[in-house]
Structure 1
Amino acid sequence: MVAGVESERKGVLATMAPYLRPRPLAALLLGISSGFPLALLLGTMTFWLAKVGIDKKTIGFAIGLTTPYALKFLWAPLVDRLKLPILTGLFGQRRAWLFFVQALLFGSVWMLGASQPEMHLGIFAFWAITTAFLGATQDIIIDAYRIEILPEDELPHGTANNQFGYRLGAFFAGVGTIALASPEGLNLGWAMAYGLTGLCIIPGIIAAFWAGPGSHDRVIPKERQSVGQWLQDTLIGPFAEFLKRRGALLILLFVLVYKLGDAMGQSMLNPMIVELGFSDTEFIAINKLIGFWGLIVGIALAAPFMAWLGMGRALFVSGLLMMFSNLMFVILALHGHSNTWLIIAVATEQVTSGIGLTVFVTYLSGLSNLAYTATQFALLSSLASVGRTWLSVPAGYAAEQFGWPGFWIMTMVIALPGMILLWLLWQRGFVVESVRKAREGARAEAAE
């Protein structure tokens, strides 16, 4: 019996060990800094707007202010290749851009919190889109840097850690900001609450000094280039390399629609909670605390989930789980103000999202050639975020037209095209082949 217990303990430790290696831990810290801006612009912002009396249709359009996350591939080539004076020489390409953008982001978040949307919606919109642009640029840098510092054998665990950190950042931006601002919490007001949340840039700074320079400089051209060559390599090379792969267009279409149903549901979750009469305290305790730990469980399960099923099956099963989780919100909407069903719905949704998001981001990371990491990952994640921004804008109208139960049923139906595309990719062998080709291409260019 003792030997069996000891063997089981060692097995658990062996399973957890890769999560505790230095570079996966650095990925966790980077995730914290990456996760907080978008949470302020989605969950916390929609809660804030609902609390000050902004109607659901306007809230739906306000989500469109996060459009820079869907367009970040347009300026990602500059982040990949444009050197910042002085800073690049001191810290290297990735870290120079990270420190520069984080300084601007900190100031923008402060101004967003002070914008008073109930009185100055235009000023609020300006600072929201500025924060979105800077947050999206920070994501370009952090996503590329994370992929470059993680060896291939640590990519699943590092990605899981990064998602864990991302959710920690989102948790601070959600629970922390609302608790700081709410009259039921510390009652510091939205300006101070948003400003203090801006300090979430600090973990990313620590990670950047800890992990050191990324591998980017080893795979970009070292010789002096003409302007034409530089533009060709910077603006055209990343997209041309990706589009030459088998099944490239089908992959891009899949990335665009895979999480559309989940994104539409999440955009209207907080307004529904407010409309159903849940208090700030209930919101924090259930939607955030229970949801947070559910997400952590899901993220922790993701790496063994991928190892057990393989990438193709993991994407398919996690997609089905996320689609099923929306059924819990149908039941919640039918029950109305029910703490029990809110707990069940949030816990189910967050566990399945933790698995699904980590599997999906690991897949996108594997598709990125290290020679063009920032641009290619930005392209893929931008397409994924289109579903969260403009394709989710009609969510407010749908909620008005169908009511909350009908709205959540609609999100399940909208998830079906992504599952059909994944099945086509899987049947044609593009899921695994594309990841393998990207890794082989990166190794070949690094060797040269």
Structure 2
Amino acid sequence: MFKQIQRLQRLTAILFLGFASGLPLALTGQAMQAWLTTDGVAIATIGFLALVGMPYTFKFLWAPLMDRFEPSWLGRRRGWLVLTQLFLAVSIYYLSTISYTTSPATFAVIALLVTFLSASQDIVIDAYRTDVLEADERGIGASMSVLGYRIGMILSGGIALIWADQWQSWSRVYQMMAGVMLFSAIFSLVFLPTVKSEIKPLNSDPKKELLGFLALLLGVLAGVYVTRFAFMAAGIDFAEASKWVQLAYVLVSLSVALPMGVKAAQYVGFATLTQSLSSYFNQKSAWAFLILIILYKLGDAFAGSLFTPFLLKGMLFTQIEVGIVNKIIGIWLTIIGAFLAGLLMMRFTLFQALMSFGVLQLLSNFGFYALAILGKGAWGSFTLMPFDLGFVAVTVPTQIDSLLMSAIALENITSGMGTAAFVALLMSLCSNQFSATHYALLSALAAVGRIYVSPVAGVLSESLGWPNFFLFSVVTAVPGVVMLWWMRESVYRISQKHIEQKSS
């Protein structure tokens, strides 16, 4: 009985932390896109502003510091959680006081700070989930995490749209979200279960760790400088360059700067980084898993990268209709998808879950294609009567487009299922001693699609049109499914390791 209570406490904590993780993501994603769209910012510019999400792809660089050091008075993992959530509350509130149209540079910098803190929070949440869950809890734990994550995004990405429409103020919405993050910090401080006492950081020289991190940063900056110098030597004027050239510069900079940073860190002696990377890459099929992680959610990322501008500007749906359909009604569909995934994963092997859910999330992109082709009102509509849930209310009857409802229903259920299996895969690839660094590395690669397809998506949507854009998103989902089939034996081996851990 006591063990069941402890399990319930752990799963409740995972549900809440999933919520805390999902909340700030939409504030620099869908919600920010809606804010900028209503302010009249061009879609291509909105697509490039998605690059403020770059910290999600770099978080494995500072994750070793969060593996190695802990605020001692709050305990392992919990200390970093409380600190990042407090700073998130402050930075989100500050963002609410800025307008992109009057201060674009300041807006972009503070949005970048929010994503840095959000990525840092994710590092700790992912490590905490990996450390605190028992082996036989990973499937249902992944589902609870996804459920909480989606609820967080529903609040900041959907209910926020309704509030913005009713209050006529995005600043007020962001201030509300800052208050929610403050509550999250208090909850983490008081209610989270502690991780196992035997899981301890690496016993290394703290000064060398910090010097190694500094060397890492200097190496990355040197790589960026070298790339910029090379582009300028080739006669490229960044002020006049096209968005494709600017995107190429960003991607080349990454490919040069990251290896230079890692080499510099290894030379100085950043032990937690080097040993954690060695620990991961010593696994069989390590590189193949990295490619799979990038490809598995790529089609999903393409379809969702400009989803909000598509609905608001391309299809001319209202903010309140998008908020109700995409998030308020979508919450029940997400709950169904998350719990269905959890139940199925108790019976499926890891490969079976990844394959079946991956195919379903690929097919869901055809719903957006149908919406773009057939148009608003093609399947009629129905009336949603007024409601008041306390935290959000709709005071007048609202017409809901049936095709919009169908497309979003399919996306919410299948994407939630695919993400649950994906999270279980990532946890299975992590070592507990380096769980923050390992999970940060893996999830950073998973974020590559979501972050770096947005600039491409913005240009493609304007040049191809929305119908062809969503067909292209289907095509980009195919390599992930093919890669998964090719790696079925490797995934099966990971699944067997999971079963052995469960029985031991």
Determine whether 1:176 maps to 2:159: yes
Number of equivalent positions: 418
- Contact kept in structure 2, 1:238 and 1:376, CA below 8 Å: yes
How far off its partner does 1:209 sit?
2.8
The AA in structure 2 aligned to 1:120 is S
Name the CA shift for 1:177/1:216 in 2 (closer, same or farther; >3 Å).
farther
> What's the counterpart of residue 88 of structure 2?
105
Determine whether 1:269 maps to 2:307: yes
Determine whether 1:72 maps to 2:59: yes
- Contact kept in structure 1, 2:358 and 2:481, CA below 8 Å: yes
Which consecutive residues of structure 1, in runs of 5 or more, have no partner in the other structure?
A: 1-16
How far off its partner does 1:218 sit?
2.6
How far off its partner does 1:229 sit?
8.6
- Contact kept in structure 1, 2:33 and 2:309, CA below 8 Å: yes
How far off its partner does 1:317 sit?
1.0
Q: Give TM-score, length-normalised by structure 2.
A: 0.78
* Higher mean C-alpha displacement, 433-442 vs 318-327: 433-442
For residues 34 and 226 of structure 1, the distance between their equivalents in structure 2, rounded to whole angstroms, comes to 29
For residues 353 and 347 of structure 1, the distance between their equivalents in structure 2, rounded to whole angstroms, comes to 10
> What's the counterpart of residue 32 of structure 2?
45
Q: Which of 120, 124, 127 is the equivalent residue of 2:103?
A: 120
Determine whether 1:218 maps to 2:199: yes
For residues 177 and 305 of structure 1, the distance between their equivalents in structure 2, rounded to whole angstroms, comes to 32
- Contact kept in structure 2, 1:366 and 1:439, CA below 8 Å: no
SS in 2 for 1:93: coil
Q: Which of 170, 177, 193 is the equivalent residue of 1:190?
A: 170
Name the CA shift for 1:233/1:345 in 2 (closer, same or farther; >3 Å).
same
Q: Which of 134, 159, 168 is the equivalent residue of 1:151?
A: 134
How far off its partner does 1:325 sit?
0.4
- Contact kept in structure 2, 1:70 and 1:385, CA below 8 Å: yes
For residues 197 and 54 of structure 2, the distance between their equivalents in structure 1, rounded to whole angstroms, comes to 27
Q: Give TM-score, length-normalised by structure 1.
A: 0.88
Deviations 1:122-143 (A, max 9, x none): 1110111010000000000111
1:191-340 mapped onto 2 (5 Å cutoff): 191-201=171-181, 202-203=183-184, 205-215=186-196, 218-221=199-202, 225=205, 231=269, 233-275=271-313, 276-338=315-377, 339-340=401-402
For residues 442 and 9 of structure 2, the distance between their equivalents in structure 1, rounded to whole angstroms, comes to 27
> What's the counterpart of residue 433 of structure 1?
493
For residues 199 and 502 of structure 2, the distance between their equivalents in structure 1, rounded to whole angstroms, comes to 11
For residues 81 and 18 of structure 2, the distance between their equivalents in structure 1, rounded to whole angstroms, comes to 13
- Contact kept in structure 2, 1:169 and 1:200, CA below 8 Å: no
Q: Judging by fraction of residues, say which structure has more helix.
A: 1
Structure 1 runs of 4+ off > 3 angstroms? Answer: 17-20, 219-222, 224-233, 434-444
Which consecutive residues of structure 2, in runs of 5 or more, have no partner in the other structure?
A: 211-268, 378-400
- Contact kept in structure 1, 2:81 and 2:188, CA below 8 Å: no
- Contact kept in structure 2, 1:368 and 1:438, CA below 8 Å: no
Determine whether 1:424 maps to 2:486: yes
Q: CA RMSD in A?
A: 2.4
- Contact kept in structure 2, 1:67 and 1:389, CA below 8 Å: yes
For residues 438 and 221 of structure 1, the distance between their equivalents in structure 2, rounded to whole angstroms, comes to 24
Name the CA shift for 1:313/1:378 in 2 (closer, same or farther; >3 Å).
same
- Contact kept in structure 2, 1:111 and 1:191, CA below 8 Å: no
How far off its partner does 1:115 sit?
1.5
For residues 177 and 59 of structure 1, the distance between their equivalents in structure 2, rounded to whole angstroms, comes to 18
Percent of matched pairs sharing the same residue = 33
How far off its partner does 1:191 sit?
1.9
- Contact kept in structure 1, 2:292 and 2:484, CA below 8 Å: yes
